[in-house]
Every structure is written in structure tokens, then in C-alpha cells.
Copies of this chain bind each other. A is one copy, B any other.
Amino acid sequence: MLTTMSLEEFGAVLASDAPAPGGGSVAALSGAVGAGLIAMVCRLSIGKKGCEAFTEELTKTVPKADALAAGLLRRVDLDTEAFNSVMAAFKLPKQTDEEKAKRTAAIQDGYKEAVQSPIAIASECVAVLELSRNLLGKSNPNALSDLGVASQQAYAGLEGAIMNVKINLPSIKDENFKSEISTELVQLLKQGREAKEQVYQFVSDNL
């Protein structure tokens, strides 16, 4: 389990010559700390001067941000598992025709999993970006930089996750699957980028 490792241990295994954990797990971690910062910003805003009108909304956002943080942190492990399942499929025997067919199918399933994992990370990073956009003008000004950092982290997670989809997509033979994924990526990137830009503008104008 990567998530029970210390930051130091995670840093060491990341930098090692093992291909996993790699960019997919890092993208998930980035989204998770972004969501954690959103939860912190809400907790530092509830009942604070200037935020009184938004108590209900801030209070409702806390469990949403906490759930996204927990979900994305789980994906730090899940993404590495998905990657490892592709690697395992490549090691299957390929002597007989039956073995070859089984191996090819396992590799294809592995790649689909290795693509669906970062798609889920991307989608959850967009949800974090939407939470950060929705807090503009409603949260504690003393934590405005934290709100900005949250959106930067979620956006880096989104872009990173998309790169992890794109590197595996050419290995998939199912054209319908590929076409659906590509459409989804475009939508997620558009939505996430708009939210990030809006948060950036607000933070820049108010810091």
C-alpha cells in the first residue's frame, strides 16, 4: 500500500527505477491534496467574519471535499495496481494458440483498466476544481492562497491523468471504447480548464 507509506518512503519508491508508482499515482495524489485543501479552506471559513452568509454551503462542501480526497488517495494505490496488471498480462505464457489468445485478451483488459483508472482520476480532479470555483468569494480571505493552490493541484492532477490515458490509448484495439474515451477527455479538460482559469483570475485579483 502506497498510502500507508510516509511521504519520504513514497518519494523514494517513486524516484526508483520501478516503473510503478509513476505519473498516474502522482496525479491521483495531486488531486487528493487539492481536495484536502478545499476541505481545510471550508473548515477555516465556517462562522468566520464575512463568511456568515455561506455557512450552509461551506458546511455542505466539507463532506464532498473529504470524500473526493479519500477517493483520490485510494486511486494512488489503484492506479499502480492497474499498471501492474498490464505488466502481469505480458508475462502470461504464449506457447499454444489458446495461451496466445488468453494472453492477448488479458493484455487488452489490462490496458482498458490502465486507461479507466486515470479517467476516473481526471473526472474526480474536475470535481475538485468545481468545488474550488464554487467557493470563490465565499471563503476566508486569509486562506485564499490555499484555495488557489487547491485548484492548481487539481488541475495538474487532471492534466497528468489525461497524459496517462493518452499513453495507453494506442495499445487498445476496441475503437468504440477509444472514441468514447477521447470524447470524455476533451469534455473533462474543457470543464477543468475553465474552472482553473476562473479560480486563478479571482485569486490573482484578490491577493
Chain A contact residues, CB within 8 Å of chain B: 2-8, 10-11, 14-19, 22-23, 26-27, 29-30, 32-33, 35-37, 39-40, 43-44, 65-66, 69-70, 73, 76, 142-146, 148-150, 152-153, 155-156, 159-160, 163-164, 166-167, 200, 203, 207
| Residue in chain B with minimal CB distance to A144 | B167
User: Could you tell me the dominant secondary structure of chain A's interface residues?
Assistant: helix
Shortest distance between the CB of A158 and any CB in chain B (Å): 9
- A37 adjacent to B22 (CB under 8 Å): yes
User: Which of B18, B148, B167 sits near A23, CB closer than 8 Å?
Assistant: B148
- B33 adjacent to A29 (CB under 8 Å): yes
In the bound complex, CA of A29 to CA of B32 (Å): 12
- A19 adjacent to B145 (CB under 8 Å): no
Shortest distance between the CB of A199 and any CB in chain B (Å): 11
- Give the 6 A-B residue pairs with the shortest CB-CB distance, closest first: A23-B149, A156-B156, A17-B43, A149-B160, A15-B39, A14-B36
Asked whether A10 and B11 contact (CB < 8 A) given A17-B40, A156-B30, A163-B148, the answer is no
Cβ–Cβ < 8 Å partners of A146 in chain B: 22-23
User: Which of B22, B23, B33 sits near A26, CB closer than 8 Å?
Assistant: B33
Shortest distance between the CB of A38 and any CB in chain B (Å): 8
- B4 adjacent to A22 (CB under 8 Å): no
Asked whether A43 and B29 contact (CB < 8 A) given A156-B153, A166-B207, the answer is no
In the bound complex, CA of A3 to CA of B73 (Å): 17
